[in-house]
């Protein structure tokens, strides 16, 4: 879907550029056309994100209707979602299903300027699935996929320090072939 959007925008760009180069009066319309194309593309991405959330929610609802219950809902949520490389902030989130069922998940992304930006993206998806959540803390990670190394450290100013040992256990399950997944409670 994203590739299709880029192709459409590129084709529009080429067509507009060709038209503008042959028609001097159209040059003043060029910025408006570019702005429309960009806005259209961003709307497509938002719809894609919404469609993915809806499909995921439908999948979880189906599992629940088939008798999977709270355990199936929580099992459908990936334990770890982090960027493949770089130094970035992460948070440890506890997800609560109906009853006493809960699960911890790790989320870390380089695009997040603050730890609460990550939670701001994750919480609405969990809310749609009727899963209560709370941030247990945060920190930073250095992920070097080529060297198969991850190092977890530091803390979140807003959420406090996560239990890095829980995070490392989740990471070791997600990346069993990594040579080094470590943590310390030092640094920011």
User: C-alpha dihedral over 96, 99, 102, 108, to 10 degrees?
Assistant: -10
Whether residue 115 lies in the annotated active site? yes
Q: How far apart are CA 72 and CA 60, in angstroms?
A: 7
DSSP, collapsed to helix, strand or coil, labels residue 60 as helix
What distance in Å separates the CA atoms of residue 57 and residue 70, rounded to the nearest whole number?
13
The answer to the question of whether 27 is labelled as a binding residue is: no
Rounded Cα distance between 26 and 18, Å, is 11
Catalytic residue among 40, 115, 143, 164: 115
Binding-site annotation: residue ranges: 89
List active site positions: 115
Binding-site annotation: residue ranges for substrate: 89
């Amino acid at each position: 879907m994203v590739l299709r959007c880029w192709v459409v925008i590129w084709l529009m760009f080429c067509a507009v550029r060709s038209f503008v180069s042959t028609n001097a009066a159209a040059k003043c319309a060029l910025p408006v056309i570019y702005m429309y194309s960009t806005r259209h593309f961003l709307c497509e991405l938002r719809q894609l994100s919404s469609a993915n959330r809806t499909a995921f929610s439908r999948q979880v609802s189906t599992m629940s209707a088939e008798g999977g219950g709270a355990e199936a809902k929580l099992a459908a949520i990936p334990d770890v979602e982090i960027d493949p490389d770089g130094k970035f902030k992460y948070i440890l989130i506890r997800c609560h299903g109906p009853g006493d069922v809960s699960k911890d998940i790790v989320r870390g992304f380089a695009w997040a300027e603050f730890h609460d930006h990550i939670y701001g993206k994750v919480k609405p998806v969990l809310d749609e699935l009727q899963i209560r959540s709370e941030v247990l803390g945060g920190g930073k990670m250095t992920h070097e996929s080529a060297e198969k190394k991850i190092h977890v450290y530091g803390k979140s100013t807003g959420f406090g320090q996560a239990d890095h040992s829980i995070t490392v256990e989740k990471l070791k399950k997600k990346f069993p072939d990594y040579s080094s997944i470590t943590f310390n409670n030092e640094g920011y």
